[in-house]
């Protein structure tokens, strides 16, 4: 029996989660339909723009993303501290950017007086909305519903666009977060549709490399045109920063140095491509040395991470503890977990 998502998404256990969603119809989410010749490439911009807008409204940061032809991956972090710090005014202002809210909330924002009964109602609404602003389920609902509506309108059809609710995977420690981000960022290379990180369109690693290169104002980065309308309404949140000085338990940033991550993903990208094996540097990347992960185990993880686990990834004892907490008795991925968490 599977566990309820509200149990597996527990920011007190970990704020980091991998989510994936896939479209149900033969028609592509993005890319080009080989049967009809119609291009859906622009829809990738829809998704990236929307997750940036939602990240600015929700207390949820984006660690990594990859938008593929019929599915997308996100690695998200719930910012519990920011969620708790929201004032009543901020909660209402953010929530009403997404939904119509409630008349009493509008009164409050406008500075109009409210009765005692209305004040009690408002307190309940604010508490509910504040909780939702830190909810990955509500984040994904806002993302998927808009994309489905726009795609259905463009396709002049009705009905289900996504094959089901999103799938989530709790990332319990540094090894799980690193392996998952690597798996997500390397999607185009692993699928054979990109030869390099720079060519891996609509991925977070490409975005980070563009930012790193400090492109001149005359250069237009991918999706820039499609983002202008979104920026007119909401600021777009940047990707969550790397900070190797931060410990995973502090949960304020991605707990690695970006230079080390870049070294590892470049090495791994060449390792997972069968036609690139002759060019793999035999030197072990710094992060693998620090974490004590064997090369073969790491390459296998980069290729198969999503299939290795079910709902939880991390150190084996922590996986079992969380599974017991949510009511399950069996965890998937013991061998893989132990390979990424070798005894010291």
**Residue pLDDT, tens place only, 233-268:** 445 778 999 998 888 877 789 999 999 999 999 999
d(C-alpha 176, C-alpha 182), whole Å: 10
Separation CA 340–CA 294 (nearest Å): 8
Which residue from 152, 171, 149 is spatially nearest to 254, judged by alpha carbons? 171
Tell me the two tokens of residue 330. Answer: 């069996």
pTM (2 d.p.)? 0.87
**CATH hierarchy code of domain 5-82+135-340:** 3.30.70.1290
Name the strand (E) or helix (H) holding 278: none
All CATH 3.30.70.1290 domain ranges in the chain, comma separated: 5-82+135-340
Higher-scoring residue by pLDDT: 44, 206:
206
Q: Cα-flanking dihedrals φ and ψ of residue 39, to 5°?
A: -95, 135
Q: How distant, in Å, are the alpha carbons of 121, 133, 238 from that of 98?
A: 20, 10, 20
Q: What phi and psi values does residue 95 have, to the nearest 5 degrees?
A: -65, -35
Q: What is the pLDDT of residue 154?
A: 85
Cα–Cα distance for residue pair 169/13, rounded to 1 Å = 13
220 has a pLDDT exceeding 70: no
The sign one gets for the Cα dihedral 197, 202, 204, 208 is positive
**Residue 228 — very low, low, confident or very high, per pLDDT cuts 50/70/90?**
very low
CB-based contact 239:208 (threshold 8 Å): yes
Measured distance CA(39)–CA(33) in Å, rounded: 6
Average pLDDT score over residue span 121-132: 94
């Amino acid at each position: 029996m599977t566990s309820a998502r509200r149990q597996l998404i527990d920011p007190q256990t970990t704020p980091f989660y991998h989510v994936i969603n896939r479209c149900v119809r033969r028609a592509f989410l993005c890319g080009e339909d080989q049967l009809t010749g119609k291009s859906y490439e622009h829809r990738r911009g829809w998704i990236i723009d929307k997750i940036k807008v939602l990240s600015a409204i929700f207390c949820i940061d984006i660690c990594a993303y990859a938008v593929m032809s019929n599915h997308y991956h996100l690695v998200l972090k719930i910012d519990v501290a920011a969620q708790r710090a929201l004032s009543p005014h901020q909660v209402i202002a953010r929530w009403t950017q997404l939904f119509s809210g409630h008349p009493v909330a509008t009164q409050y924002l406008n500075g109009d007086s409210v009765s005692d009964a209305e004040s009690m109602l408002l307190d309940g609404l604010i508490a509910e909305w504040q909780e939702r602003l830190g909810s990955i389920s509500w984040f994904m609902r806002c993302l998927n519903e808009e994309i489905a509506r726009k795609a259905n309108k463009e396709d002049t059809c009705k009905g289900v666009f996504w094959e089901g609710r999103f799938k989530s995977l709790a990332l319990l420690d540094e090894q799980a977060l690193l392996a998952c981000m690597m798996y997500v960022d390397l999607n185009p290379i692993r699928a054979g549709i990109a030869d390099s990180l720079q060519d891996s369109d609509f991925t977070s690693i490409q975005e980070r490399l563009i930012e790193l290169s400090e492109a001149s104002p005359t250069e237009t980065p991918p999706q820039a045109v499609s983002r202008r309308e979104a920026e007119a309404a909401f600021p777009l949140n940047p990707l969550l920063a790397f900070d190797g000085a931060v410990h995973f338990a502090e949960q304020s940033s991605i707990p690695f140095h970006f230079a080390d991550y870049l070294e590892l993903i470049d090495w791994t990208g060449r390792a997972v491509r069968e036609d690139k094996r002759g060019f793999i540097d035999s030197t072990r990347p710094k992060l693998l040395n620090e974490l004590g992960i064997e090369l073969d185990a790491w390459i296998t993880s980069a290729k198969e991470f999503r299939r290795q686990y079910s709902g939880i990834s991390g150190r084996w004892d922590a996986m079992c503890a969380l599974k017991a907490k949510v009511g399950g008795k069996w965890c998937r991925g013991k061998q893989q977990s132990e390979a990424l968490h070798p005894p010291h």
